[in-house]
Amino acid sequence: MSSSNPHFCDLLTFNTLALPCQAKNFVMLSDLGQLQGLSTLLKKCQKPVHDNEPTKSTQDNLTNQANETNQPHQTNQPSLQTHWNILGGGSNLVLPKVLHQPVLHIQLKGIHLLDDQGLQNDQSVIKADKSTFYRIRVAAGENWHDWVTFALNKGWYGLENLALIPGSVGAAPVQNIGAYGVEVAQFIESVDVWNIETEQLLTLSAQDCDFAYRNSRFKRAHYSNEIIVAVNFALPKAWQPVLTYQDLKPLAQRYLNPSESITPHDVYQLVCEVRQRKLPNPALIPNAGSFFQNPVVPHEQAQALKAQHPNLVCYPQADGTTKLAAGWLIDTCGWKGKRLGSVGMHANQALVLVNPDGGHYDDVMTLADAVRHDVQTLFGVALQIEPICWMPDSSTHHTA
């Protein structure tokens, strides 16, 4: 059967939470030549909605789903609502038991060092200076950690802090993945997308992508017709380590000592060691990594919480706000290592929701709601779910 033809697929092994999900119409994208046909297929899955009706779309970062309600405009002309899901590595995803709408699995491969002209024709896209940056085009279906390792071994540095993050390259800009003081947006020059509606390949500058903390344009319903096919990176030739996080303190101390030196390989190795120590391997204990975002609150609120809870773990931000450690909040509420039915919060890292005993969508959401309720009650802080939650075809929406 051609991968271009929709067919049934059990997605149990396609998501790191190991949630059972029957995809009734599964399509694999492994060649750009399939894009034209995909547009025809996916356009059939759109329906007109009016501007004052809620819209739903999904795209993964892995994978991604964004649910928004459009504000009424002066006119009430119908627009198109998308009904498909885009699946990357499945590492940042909560799946329902059944999906009738098409699931598009991105398997595009290839890593190419670009010349001065690169592969971009849009003159509005700002191109990095080749004399100070390595410019590399990476297909969306490449494994993220494999790409980080490949870049390191090629001498293309900067991504070391993002090592061992599961998922695909195409999913990375959707969520603007980040770890240990680094966000992927810092190294993205542009993103290549296929627009289902116009049937065109477009190159979006980093500015066009509207990157923010764990957010981007690709999580918004208005841009749900865009399929990420490649990411263009600009990695600086003059490497500077980012060692601000406590876990990287041993390297920070060495770096400040004139008699010692560190390399990108040192950072990469330590990041891998820390992640392996703190986070469970999804192959052994199903999980989706950090299940809640670190909440960002006004400085005054953080100070008030600090007065009540002197051990509160928090990080002042450049804009005057304060980021709170969601794991500490959850741990303090007593959820670290606690189970609720088939699922629970990990014993070594309260921020990670694990599924050791074959739980499903409703089990995950019930636990997530209970954790959020307790954190809200004790601290007055609302936690946001970090993974993308694909809704069942007919169910109550869980805010994500």
Active site residues: 214, 290, 386
DSSP code string of 293-331: PPPEE-HHHHHHHHHH-TT--EEE-TTS-EEE-HHHHHH
Angle at 343 between CA 339 and CA 183, to 5 degrees: 105
Rg (CA), the chain: 21
- Residue 232 burial (CB < 10 Å; 0-12/13-18/19+)? buried
Task: Answer whether 100's CB lies under 8 Å from 390's CB.
Answer: no
Angle at 14 between CA 13 and CA 17, to 5 degrees: 75
Contacts of 259 (CB under 8 A, 6+ apart): none
Contacts of 200 (CB under 8 A, 6+ apart): 194
From residue 336, alpha-carbon distances to 240, 257, 313, 327 in Å are 35, 37, 16, 9
User: What are 92's two structure tokens?
Assistant: 């940042």
Contacts of 217 (CB under 8 A, 6+ apart): 204, 208, 209, 210, 223
- Residue 184 burial (CB < 10 Å; 0-12/13-18/19+)? buried
CA-CA distance, 151 to 235, in Å (whole number)? 9
Q: Which of 108, 70, 393 is nearest to 227 (CA)?
A: 108
